[in-house]
Structure 1
Amino acid sequence: MESIKSHSYEVHLEELAEAALRQHIAKSNYSKVFVLVDENTKKKCLPIFKEKLGERADVILEIQSGENHKNIATCSKVWELLSHHNGDRKSLLLNLGGGVLTDLGGFVASTFKRGIDFINIPTTLLSMVDASIGGKTGVDLGSLKNQIGVINQPQMVLVFPEFLKTLETRQLKSGYSEMLKHGLIMDADYWKGLKEKNEFTDALCIKKSIAIKNDVVIQDPTELGLRKILNFGHTLGHAIESYCLENPERETLLHGEAIAIGMILESYLSHELKGLSKLSVQEVKETFLKHFGRVSFDTADIKAILKLLKYDKKNSHGDVNFVLLQEIGTALTDIKVPHDLFNKAFAYYAE
């Protein structure tokens, strides 16, 4: 399957990924090759990956999985391990894991010795189609999502769909949520076809989602304009994800689950402010509720979630900026939302 070219790197899929990895390591004369894993990818993915890598897995570094470990403390642990094992500026870090690990691993590599090479090998659907693509790296600040980080591109991204066999359905659906987002913001036909699929993990669907995100990133690598559309559903979705993360009495939501809620809410706002049709809003709502079900929020929950909007990374000059849909396949950026519409959006979600 043909690779996808970005400005400074390529995304290789399936058999081309293995060949590209071996060729890159053979020609690059790295002093050491580190592989970053968590307890899940160490057990389920590392044995498979070692066969593809050959002999150059010099040191395995392990962190704990989960969003609650995506923080500076974990970074410090990895920086110390890199130093302990004599990592230098000619070292390579291979990030073998989901979105938490590739975000954190990319940030660690970008800052260790003022920057070493890294390669992302995503093992979850979410990471394959979204998190590992585009060069965004970083960690959370407490429960606040992705507040600390840099944009720095990997040497390459290697996608092996066989890793998806190690995942439970809930994790696969989390990635499916981001794939549906790609259709909503850029490609109405992709949305239409994808939302009817029962099997969405085939390589062609994965490649299509990667291509959509990559095309946006190529046009706007540092998120000055167009790239903001990738945040559709994320303004309220991230606030919901953070709220559930910091409240132990609530079930923690996976990223795609929170963003699915965010996309329903922000579709409603799109109807109220930018003319998205009622039929389209209902289509979005029915599609996501079919796959994710409904989460209950009372008045106190909603108030607390809305307070978290002030930390959104798209904010400017004290304003909360939203990405909304004009129609399915067309997104608009930097939209201000009157506060009274938020409660109406949550009421629509709860209906």
Structure 2
Amino acid sequence: MESVKSQSYEVHINELAKAALNQHIAKTSYSKIFLLVDENTKAHCLPIFNEMIDFPIDSVLEIESGEENKHIRTCLQLWEDLSNLDGDRKSLLINLGGGVLTDMGGFVASTFKRGIDFINIPTTLLSMVDASIGGKTGVDLGSLKNQVGVINQPQMVLIFPEFLKTLDPRQTKSGYAEMLKHGLIQDSSYWNDLIEDGDFTDAACIQRSIAIKNEVVLQDPTEQGLRKILNFGHTLGHAIESYCLDNHDKKTLLHGEAIAAGMILEGYLSHEMRGLSKLSVDEIKKGFLKHFDKVDFTEDDIDAILQLLKYDKKNSHGNVNFVLLQEIGKAVTDIRIPEELFQKAFAYYKE
């Protein structure tokens, strides 16, 4: 399967990925090779990875899995580990894990000794089609998502769909939400194909999502304009995710579950603000609720979620900026929403 070429690196899939990794290590004189895992990828993915490589790993670093561990304290421990294990500027960090691990591993590598090389090997569908692509790295600030980080590109991203067999279905479906987003913002035919119960874990579908995101990032690597469309569903979705993470009486949502709700809500806002047809809004809602459980929001929940919008990374000059749809397959950025529409959007979601 053909690799996807970005500006400074490539995304390789299956056998091409294996060959690319071994060739890169063979021709690059790294002083140390570190591998970052969590307890899940150590148990389920590391044995598979060890069968793929033709080179030794100097040290395996382990962190605890979960969004609640994506914070600066974990980074501090990793920086200390790298230093104690004689890591230097010619070291390499290979990140073997989901979006939390590749985000944080990329950030740790980008800041240790002012920057060492890193390679992402995503093991969840979410990280394959989204988190590991595009160079965004970082950590959360408390329960607020991705408030600290840098944009820095990996040496390569390697996709092995066989790792998806190690996941429970809920984790896999979380990545499916991001794939549906790619269709909504850029490719209506892809949206139609995905929403019809196809095998979204198929390598061809994964490659298509990667290609869509890569095409956007190539045109706007530092998110000055076009790249903002990748945040459709994320303004409200991130606020929902943060709120549920910080409130123990609420069910903790996976990223894809939260942004699925966010895309329904922002689909409704698109109807009100940009003329997205009611037929399309209903199609989006029906499509997501076919695959994702509806989240129960009280009035107090909604008020608290809306308060979190002020922390969104797309905000500028005190304004909360939304990505909306003009039609399925065409997104627009930097839209301000009148406050009264938020309640209408949640009412539509709850219908």
Q: TM-score range by the shorter chain?
A: over 0.9
Cα shift at 1:54: 2.5
CA shift for structure 1 position 57: 1.2
Identity within the alignment, %: 75
Q: How is 1:1-351 mapped onto 2 (pairs within 5 angstroms)?
A: 1-351=1-351
TM-superposition CA deviations, 1:4-26 (whole Å, max 9, x none) = 10000000000000000000001
TM-score by length of 1: 0.99
Distance 1:227 1:318 in 2: 20
Shift of 1:51: 1.3
Q: Distance in 1 between matches of 2:108 and 2:200?
A: 32
Letter in 2 for 1:249: D
Whether the aligned pair in 1 keeps the contact of 2:22 and 2:55 (CA below 8 Å) is no
Query: Following the alignment from structure 2 to structure 1, what is the Cα–Cα distance between the partners of residues 19 and 8?
Result: 18
CA distance in structure 1 between the aligned counterparts of 2:186 and 2:326, rounded to whole angstroms: 11
Q: Which amino acid aligns with 1:128?
A: M
* Length-normalised TM-score, structure 2: 0.99
Contact 2:323 2:332 in 1 (8 A): yes
Residue 334 of structure 1 aligns to a residue whose secondary structure is strand
**Superimposed CA distance per residue, residues 177-210 of structure 1 (whole angstroms, 9 cap, x where no aligned partner):** 0000000000000001110024210000000000
Separation of aligned partners in 1, 2:138 and 2:53 = 26
Distance 1:255 1:54 in 2: 35
Aligned pair count?
351
Once the two structures are TM-superposed, the CA of residue 56 in structure 1 deviates from its matched residue by 2.1
- Uncovered stretches (5+) of structure 2, i.e. residues with no partner: none
Q: 1:53 Cα deviation (Å)? A: 1.8
Contact 2:70 2:140 in 1 (8 A): yes
After superposition, the C-alpha distances for 1:202-223 in whole angstroms (9 at most, x for unaligned) are 0000000000000000000000
> Shift of residue 310 of structure 1?
0.2
Q: Secondary structure at the match of 2:94?
A: strand
Q: CA deviation at 1:234?
A: 0.1
Which residue type is aligned with residue 314 of structure 2?
Answer: K
After superposition, give the CA deviation of every residue in 1:131-152 in whole Å (9 maximum; x if it has no partner): 0000000000000000000000
Separation in 1 of the partners of 2:305 and 2:109? 33
The question of whether the paired residues in 2 share the 8 Å contact of 1:50 and 1:57 is answered with no
Q: Is the 8 A contact 2:25 2:55 kept in 1?
A: no
CA distance, structure 1, for counterparts of residue 92 and residue 166 of structure 2: 26
Q: Give the distance between the partners of 1:243 and 1:82, measured in 2 at CA.
A: 33
CA distance in 1, matches of 2:210, 2:85: 34
Q: Which amino acid aligns with 1:165?
A: K
**Structure 1 runs of 4+ off > 4 angstroms?**
none
CA contact (8 A) 1:106 1:138 kept: yes
**Cα deviations by residue, 1:76-124 (Å, 9 ceiling, x for unpaired):** 0110110111100000000000000000000000000000000000000
SS in 2 for 1:136: coil
> More displaced, 289-298 or 211-220?
289-298
